[in-house]
A and B are shown apart, each in its own frame.
Chain A
Amino acid sequence: NAGVTQTPKFRVLKTGQSMTLLCAQDMNHEYMYWYRQDPGMGLRLIHYSVGEGTTAKGEVPDGYNVSRLKKQNFLLGLESAAPSQTSVYFCASSPMGAPPHNEQFFGPGTRLTVL
């Protein structure tokens, strides 16, 4: 049981390049989330999904797209990377249900630098 895994762990992009971050979970969780963490800002929700085929915007969705084609995977895409998207990206998943039963489990993070 690997929990929540993220690929890649590190990435350096040039401004304008595109890339996709992959999050996978093997806990059969319904909900999945993408956060970004910046110094002094805590974690902020980018997008989330409440089930396969569904996505919704979080607090800071601009410049990102997501897809949830399979229940176990949640992809975060950057179509045209900007230096402001330099950050550490965390994926999380949680089971369906009322709190606290939907406690979120976090992946190890992806450190992205946009030059």
Chain B
Amino acid sequence: KQEVTQIPAALSVPEGENLVLNCSFTDSAIYNLQWFRQDPGKGLTSLLLIQSSQREQTSGRLNASLDKSSGRSTLYIAASQPGDSATYLCAARRVTGKLIFGQGTTLQVKP
């Protein structure tokens, strides 16, 4: 059974700092892995999707990596801004298309 874990549950950093969010999964037979952002009281916004054959994906200040052999993915945020404050969720996608979500990391970037 696929389990997805995100550590830490919460993170607070000063503005401008580079940071890494971690996501681990137990079953390496994933099709791809996706990172989402969720603002308080809102739905999910897709940030990055990494195929199982890829090592990383980049979008602006965000960079996501994937290491299937070790069951890990990281989301790197460069030069963090207060507007980056949100909950970040990772989800592993099975071949069937079903998503298995982690619990999320709540990020606060202080001005």
Contacts and interface: CB of A to CB of B under 8 A. Distances in A.
Contacts of A4: 43
B89 interface: yes
Contacts of B103: 40-42
A94 B41 CA distance: 22
Nearest to B91: A43
Interface residues of A, number: 24
A103 B48 CA distance: 11
Contact of B101 (A43, A94, A109): A43
Interface in B60-97: 89, 91, 93, 95, 97
Chain B interface category by residue count: 20 to 34
Interface of B: 4, 6, 9, 31-32, 34, 41-44, 46, 49, 51, 89, 91, 93, 95, 97-99, 101-104
Interface of A: 4, 31, 35, 40-45, 48, 58, 90, 94, 98-100, 102-104, 106-109, 111
Given A31-B97, A111-B41, 13 more contacts: A42-B104, A43-B89, A45-B99, A58-B98, A94-B97, A99-B93, A100-B31, A100-B49, A100-B51, A100-B93, A109-B41, A109-B42, A109-B43
